[in-house]
Structure 1
């Protein structure tokens, strides 16, 4: 692996630019990369409003709808598996370009789908795009963002996902008046094309350039993004030092039981996040509101309110995560989610007969959304990156990301079957019960990492401390 020391960085032809201009360039670069999160959110949200119209046109069963919904997650799992190699071999920028191309192609094919099978194939292509983007975009952001705004920029990526979901819900609602599900699915190719165009203007990641032995190019990029020779020089020194610690995740996984524990914790956290039931609501919100007694247009308007609640509640996590800590917020979130779903199940069991009861049930579903968006939604990703030791971080995060998509697929592929098999009320009680279990798992296994350096976490992990004790 190529490394560089400060003295080996060849003189550059790049001319330092004013600080204000360099800050603007860095922020613009980060915002454009974070739009990958918007593409992700659009893809998650768009199928929710379209599925009932697809089912009506093709005259297909709920089981086939489950396959159409979950095929995207299968593609995302495959894309995430290949994204690690791709981002190293092709670079972060080229990986994002490929993801954007697949996104546009998949969106257009979804709009032109001539059969349920063709729609499944198109959604699989969309999934590949999302799998590549969800791995590459946060990695790219972490490598190009100035350190004083790095956390904000990565949080912006998560926020973009929720905004994308909301925009998709609103778009579905607008097209629902004509029943144009092909437009619902196809129209997201437009922001995809704009994103593709914008990605061509992104610089390559300085870290990737140094990994390829292109120190002068890395220096030029850092001058553009930082506008200060001394800052660029220091970052090159830091990157060179980091590259002296090669990733050897698979070998470390086989050799070290403590690393296997951290990988297992990352996998468990992703299972906990997915089996809260959040994506059940994201994918099937109109069906849930139909079971509450609402008509088609009301279903989609309430689905849009779900998306808006998801966006606004994400700010709670951003504001509290470094004040209260990870575990207290997770406790609060799981309790709120269990309460919300438990009451929704109870209302469906008793029967929703009046408008007041309908609105109360919707309110409790929104309480559940708030619980997720303020806790397990963003914090699981934070914890998954914090608990992995440096030498195995890429491998550990790759395993947890793959688990996220597989669990996501299972949730999407089973919800309607659960409704038919055990009933509406029991299905929501099942997910409420799982959230109560997650409170216990959080207590026994999840560490509190607030205010603890990654080096301290790694030291305690490798010393054999219990998982919940590797934080503070």
Structure 2
């Protein structure tokens, strides 16, 4: 028997291309409007003056700018609603290729916005590129989770977050005044380059074998894809596990979101992904990324130094993402550190000590790790996974939108104490994970499903004669004949 724990060239390249073409853009567009915000707001004001021959009022400018920032996560919310129908129709890889439309088109729009003298184009383009991020943030983890062997699922699950943080860092570096900080239209338009690269290269790599076998019923193509990904011909054991999952789901068919909500056997899995995604996005991290310059300015950082402090934050975040490992422990550590970080950030803002916000921002990045999506992949079986990701993504992006839209007004009304709200949310999420979420590392999808059966108060037996799941592993001959109750 060959070891499953093996990274092949095909698996590595498929992972890197999927993550660079999609996750990198997500991170890049989170941070790209922060550094050039001053110049973009000047453009808004100048354009308004030319149109209406009077300066823009301060509250109107604040509203327009918060819309420019928050249209990105709002687009992400609508992108998440498109996940289930697209991945079921086009597959995982096919959806990623289709999704590049929502990157290339807005990249062109943002690139010509200054020539067109229209800030409305920027707001609309931010919404469209948000759709791209909403789709990719759900589909990339789903794709990687399905092409990876179970003992590499967590390791490959880190890759999208790594590319998100690298994208954030690249936007921060390019935003330095001496690089592209003054050329904000070029900065915004660069988001189309990763999409073009993915569009050219990803077609040469396999579709998800699980999708082809379980949802398309094409065992021949699934076997070929699995052989390419694993680097050897003997993939019978993985195909057997997929067939078991397929047989256990045949009575369910493809679950819609509404049918998913009514499934008693998936109740706690669904609650868990909602809590984890809501906690992740309401942890305060996105407020820092969207409005870093404003926050650091409030903390007493000199205006000339803010851009370098922001870049330093991004660099340490990349390092922390690379070194992050685990599932449940990482979730607990991430939310715990972020809770403390928000409290320290509140103190730092009150005392005007700027280095503390930098260090606490770095710590907060742990809660932005990809583990909620990795766990979501493992908590749901094939037919329920698209609908589950649709729910998780909707909560993720709706919470992100709320932070992007509300934080400027929250900062005005509560000042430095606005981060106490985020600290409470992190603490509540941590307690829930401690009490409810199990360790899913190195478990098959069926084993994870069995772990939740007791909490959901359902009987979970497969096959003739009430054959339990754990005996299915020990008796593959019976497993091939098994049918669900």
TM-score by length of 2: 0.80
Secondary structure of 1:47's aligned partner:
coil
Decide whether the 8 Å contact of 1:145 with 1:153 is kept in 2. yes
C-alpha change, 1:270 and 1:115, in structure 2 (3 Å) is same
For 1:219, the equivalent position in structure 2 comes to 223
Output the CA distance in 1 between the equivalents of 2:402 and 2:65: 13
For 1:463, the equivalent position in structure 2 comes to 454
For 1:267, the equivalent position in structure 2 comes to 274
For 2:464, the equivalent position in structure 1 comes to none
Output the CA distance in 1 between the equivalents of 2:341 and 2:323: 18
Q: 1:170 aligns with which of 170, 173, 179?
A: 173
The Cα shift of 1:40 comes to 1.6
Decide whether the 8 Å contact of 2:35 with 2:172 is kept in 1. yes
Pair 1:339 & 2:340 matched: yes
For 2:137, the equivalent position in structure 1 comes to 134
For 2:34, the equivalent position in structure 1 comes to 48
For 1:402, the equivalent position in structure 2 comes to 394
Output the CA distance in 1 between the equivalents of 2:276 and 2:7: 38
Output the CA distance in 2 between the equivalents of 1:25 and 1:219: 15
Matches within 5 A, 1:168-317: 168-173=171-176, 179-210=182-213, 211-231=215-235, 233-244=236-247, 245=249, 246-248=253-255, 250=257, 252-253=259-260, 255-257=262-264, 259-317=266-324
Q: 1:121 aligns with which of 108, 121, 124?
A: 124
Pair 1:73 & 2:95 matched: no
Spell out, residue by residue over 1:120-176, the C-alpha distance to the aligned partner (whole angstroms, 9 max, x if none): 110111011112212222222223335554432222122111111111111112566
The Cα shift of 1:110 comes to 1.6
C-alpha change, 1:150 and 1:264, in structure 2 (3 Å) is closer
Output the CA distance in 2 between the equivalents of 1:268 and 1:50: 34
Decide whether the 8 Å contact of 1:143 with 1:207 is kept in 2. yes
Question: Does 166-175 or 276-285 show the bigger shift?
Answer: 166-175
C-alpha change, 1:445 and 1:225, in structure 2 (3 Å) is closer
Gaps of 5+ in 1: 1-20, 467-472
For 1:27, the equivalent position in structure 2 comes to 12
The Cα shift of 1:418 comes to 0.7
C-alpha change, 1:330 and 1:251, in structure 2 (3 Å) is closer
The Cα shift of 1:447 comes to 4.0
C-alpha change, 1:47 and 1:454, in structure 2 (3 Å) is same
Decide whether the 8 Å contact of 1:285 with 1:303 is kept in 2. yes
Output the CA distance in 2 between the equivalents of 1:389 and 1:145: 15
Question: Does 267-276 or 54-63 show the bigger shift?
Answer: 54-63
Aligned length: 430
The Cα shift of 1:207 comes to 3.0
Secondary structure of 2:369's aligned partner:
helix
C-alpha change, 1:465 and 1:22, in structure 2 (3 Å) is closer
For 2:109, the equivalent position in structure 1 comes to 109
The Cα shift of 1:367 comes to 3.3
Output the CA distance in 2 between the equivalents of 1:49 and 1:143: 37
C-alpha change, 1:334 and 1:155, in structure 2 (3 Å) is closer
Spell out, residue by residue over 1:221-266, the C-alpha distance to the aligned partner (whole angstroms, 9 max, x if none): 33433343222x4444443333332443546545444533331221
Secondary structure of 1:338's aligned partner:
helix
The Cα shift of 1:454 comes to 5.0
Output the CA distance in 2 between the equivalents of 1:251 and 1:281: 35
Output the CA distance in 1 between the equivalents of 2:264 and 2:131: 32
Secondary structure of 2:242's aligned partner:
helix
Spell out, residue by residue over 1:185-216, the C-alpha distance to the aligned partner (whole angstroms, 9 max, x if none): 11232233222222232333333333334443
C-alpha change, 1:383 and 1:366, in structure 2 (3 Å) is farther
The Cα shift of 1:87 comes to 1.5
Q: CA RMSD in A?
A: 2.9
The Cα shift of 1:56 comes to 1.8
Decide whether the 8 Å contact of 1:34 with 1:141 is kept in 2. no
Question: Does 271-280 or 453-462 show the bigger shift?
Answer: 453-462
Gaps of 5+ in 2: 1-5, 46-59, 458-485
Matches within 5 A, 1:312-323: 312-318=319-325, 321=326
